[in-house]
Amino acid sequence: MNVERSGYVLHDTADPDVFMAEIDVAFDEADGRRTTMSLLQVFRLRDGQIAVLRDYFSEVPSVASDRHANVSR
């Protein structure tokens, strides 16, 4: 993971116990390629603690292509 190229944005919602985080995690691959995985996380708080966390993300392109390359036909 490349922390300098990764980032996030927090969003409030109408519900004070819910917020969302948009996250872009950057990776420097061993072969020199750079890839980014984008996530959206939805947090629901209860008594100041995370009660529910939902993750939505896209696959890292190199992982997706490696997996599809190994599929036997």
pTM: 0.70
DSSP-assigned states of every residue in 5-53: EEEEEEEE-SSTTEEEEEEEEEEE-TTS-EEEEEEEEEEEEETTEEEEE
pLDDT at 62: 57
Per-residue pLDDT tens digits of the chain, which is 73 residues long: 888 999 999 999 999 999 999 999 998 988 988 888 899 999 999 999 999 999 998 776 655 555 444 444 4
pLDDT at 60: 63
pLDDT at 19: 97
CATH of domain 2-66: 3.10.450.50
Task: Compute φ and ψ for 62, nearest 5 degrees.
Answer: -70, -35
